[in-house]
Amino acid sequence: MKPEKMNIISGLQRIRLKRRVCLAIIFGFLPGCVVLGLLGPIAAMSGALGLFLVGLWVQHRLNRSLCPRCHKLFFVVSFDKNHYRPDGPLSFPPQRNCRHCNLELYKKR
Ligand SMILES: [Zn+2]
């Protein structure tokens, strides 16, 4: 396999991993808060704050991911006239293609 193709595959794997961690934090936030609430109010508050901050950091890292093929931002996170689509940046978790070169995140190769 060509090195360029290996770089693309490993780059997509990194983006998929960050995406899974981000989605796990989003969907696990409320159940995690309930479990932490059973431990006491201090644990609930500090755990919820910590989980929220980790979630923000992971989402920031995910949004700054570069496409392994075109080396531009994979997820376009700002509106402008060149990238606006009705299902544009606000559709972030369902977005599965690079906004610039249309590289698919989950395509079997
Ligand atoms: Zn791209």
Instruction: Decide if 33 contacts 44 (C-beta within 8 A).
Output: yes
Does 100 or 78 have the greater pLDDT score? Answer: 100
Residues by chain with Cβ below 5 Å of ion ligand 1: 67, 69-70, 98, 100-101, 103
Query: 45 lies in a domain?
Result: yes
Calculate how far, in angstroms, residue 14's C-alpha sits from the geometric centre of ligand 1.
Answer: 14
Residue pair 74/98 in contact (Cβ under 8 Å)? The answer is yes
Does 7 reside within a domain? yes
Does the residue 105 lie in any domain?
Answer: no
pLDDT given at position 79: 57
Range of the structural domain that residue 34 is part of: 3-91
CA of 104 to the centre of ligand 1 (A): 9
State residue 31's pLDDT score.
Answer: 93
With respect to residue 14, please indicate whether it lies within any of the assigned structural domains: yes
Q: Which of 100, 93, 97, 91 is nearest to 73 (CA)?
A: 100
Residues with Cβ within 8 Å of residue 106, at least 6 apart in sequence? 16, 96
Q: Quick check: is 50 in a domain? A: yes
Whether the model clears a pTM of 0.85, i.e. scores above it, the answer is no
Number of other CB atoms surrounding residue 16 within 10 Å: 13
Q: Indicate if the pLDDT at residue 103 is higher than 70.
A: yes
- Domain count within the chain: 1
Q: What is the pLDDT of residues 12-61, one digit of tens each?
A: 999 999 999 999 999 999 999 899 989 999 988 999 999 999 999 998 88
